[in-house]
C-alpha cells in the first residue's frame, strides 16, 4: 500500500487541528489532517454548527459553521491533506519517527504527530428504530442545510442540537417536527420557547419513533405518543440528534500518559512519547481551561516546538505572520 509521508500528522479536524494545519503550513511543514468524522469541524460541526460562538478573539459573534469555514480557508494555501472519515488506529515509532496506522490499514509516516482530538472519538448515539431500516435519509448531524430544502424533516432529541437544527431548517425544510421521549428538555429553555412559540415548530413529547417507512429512502415515520397512541408523520429525512458518545478510542492504547480521558503534556505540549504532541481539549496540564481560544494558542506552541524537533536548526519563534506574507 502506498505510504503517505508528511512532516506533521494532525489527529483531529476540530478547530484546534485546523488552526494547527495553518500554522504548520506557515512554518513550512507539510501536513495530513485525520478525523474519524466525515466532516471537518469536530464538535462544532457535529453538535452546534448554527450556534453563535461569542468567545473567539476578533469575532464578537460567529456561527460555528462559519468559524470552521474560515479555518479551512486559512489553511487552504498550504494544501493540507485531509483524511476524513478515517480513524487513526495505531501508533508506532520507526527510527525514532512516528508512524500512524489507519483503521483501514494505510500507514502515515510523519516527522511528528499532533493529537487534537477534542474529547476523543465521537460516535452518534443510535436511533433504535433505525435498526430495522436500511435505506438512506437518517443523519446524525446536518453538514448542508440546503440538502433538506423542501423536505419534511423529523428531528429526534431534546437537547440543544435538536433545537438548533429546528431553528436552522426554518424556511428551508417544508416542515420540521421535534420528537422527544420526555416532557423536559436538555436544551436551554429560551431556545425551546422560541422554537415552540415564535417559530411554531410542532413538538411531540413523551413520544418515540417506533418505525421508519420507505425502501431506498425515508418516506415517513410512526411515532408512538404516550396516552395518544401511534401517529403517522410525513418524513423525507430524520435527524437523530441524540448526542454523541466520546472516548479516547484507540488513542488509549498508544502508550500515552493519561489524565483520566485526557493526554498529559508539558509546557511545550509534548507528551511522554517522542515527537508526539497534544493540544486542545484532549490535552491536560495543571490549570488547563478548555476553550477554543486556548486550543488555538496550544496549537501554535505545539507546532513551533515540533518544528524544532524536526529540524534542530530551526528557530522556535517563527517571526510574525505580518512580516512573512
Task: Specify binding-site residues for FAD.
Answer: 16, 35, 43, 48, 88, 122, 281, 322
The number of beta carbons lying within 10 Å of the beta carbon of residue 1 is: 8
Tally the C-alpha atoms within 13 A of residue 228's C-alpha that lie toward its C-beta: 12
Instruction: State the DSSP code for 198.
Output: I
User: Which residues line the annotated binding site?
Assistant: 16, 35, 43, 48, 88, 122, 281, 322
DSSP string, 37-94: SSSTTTHHHHH-TTSEE--BTTBSSEEHHHHHHHHHHHHGGG-PEEEET--EEEEEEE
C-alpha to C-alpha distance for 42 and 21, rounded to whole angstroms:
14
- Phi then psi for 198, rounded to 5 degrees? -80, -45
Going by C-alpha positions, the residue among 56, 79, 76, 80 that lies closest to residue 66 is 56
Going by C-alpha positions, the residue among 323, 222, 306 that lies closest to residue 28 is 306
Output the CA torsion sign for 189, 193, 194, 199. Answer: positive
Contact by Cβ (8 Å): 107, 2: no
Amino acid at each position: 500500500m502506498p505510504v503517505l509521508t508528511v512532516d506533521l500528522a494532525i489527529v483531529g479536524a476540530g478547530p484546534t487541528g485546523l488552526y494547527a494545519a495553518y500554522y504548520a503550513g506557515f512554518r513550512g511543514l507539510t501536513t495530513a489532517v485525520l478525523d474519524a468524522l466525515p466532516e471537518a469541524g469536530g464538535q462544532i460541526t457535529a453538535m452546534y454548527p448554527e450556534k453563535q460562538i461569542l468567545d473567539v478573539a476578533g469575532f464578537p459573534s460567529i456561527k460555528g459553521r462559519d468559524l470552521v469555514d474560515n479555518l479551512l480557508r486559512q489553511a487552504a494555501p498550504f494544501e493540507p491533506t485531509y483524511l476524513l472519515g478515517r480513524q487513526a488506529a495505531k501508533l508506532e515509532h520507526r527510527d525514532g519517527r512516528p508512524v500512524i496506522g489507519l483503521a483501514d490499514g494505510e500507514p502515515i509516516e510523519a516527522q511528528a504527530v499532533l493529537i487534537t482530538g477534542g474529547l476523543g472519538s465521537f460516535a452518534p448515539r443510535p436511533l433504535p428504530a433505525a435498526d430495522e431500516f436500511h435505506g438512506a435519509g437518517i443523519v446524525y448531524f446536518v453538514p448542508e442545510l440546503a440538502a433538506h430544502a423542501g423536505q419534511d424533516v423529523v428531528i429526534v432529541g431534546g437537547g440543544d442540537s435538536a433545537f438548533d437544527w429546528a431553528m436552522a431548517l426554518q424556511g428551508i425544510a417544508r416542515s420540521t417536527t421535534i420528537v422527544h421521549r420526555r416532557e423536559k428538555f436538555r436544551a436551554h429553555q429560551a431556545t425551546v420557547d422560541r422554537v415552540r412559540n415564535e417559530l411554531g415548530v410542532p413538538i411531540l413529547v413523551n413520544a418515540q419513533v417506533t418505525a421508519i417507512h420507505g425502501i431506498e429512502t425515508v418516506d415517513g415515520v410512526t411515532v408512538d405518543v404516550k396516552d395518544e397512541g401511534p401517529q403517522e408523520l410525513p418524513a423525507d429525512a430524520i435527524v437523530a440528534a441524540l448526542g454523541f458518545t466520546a472516548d479516547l478510542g484507540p488513542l488509549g492504547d498508544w502508550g500515552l500518559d493519561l489524565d483520566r480521558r485526557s493526554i498529559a503534556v508539558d509546557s511545550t505540549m509534548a507528551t511522554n512519547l517522542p515527537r508526539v504532541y497534544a493540544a486542545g481539549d484532549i490535552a491536560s496540564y495543571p490549570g488547563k481551561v478548555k476553550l477554543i481560544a486556548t486550543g488555538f494558542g496550544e496549537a501554535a506552541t505545539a507546532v513551533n516546538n515540533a518544528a524544532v524537533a524536526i529540524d534542530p536548526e530551526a528557530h522556535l519563534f517563527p517571526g510574525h505572520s505580518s512580516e512573512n506574507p
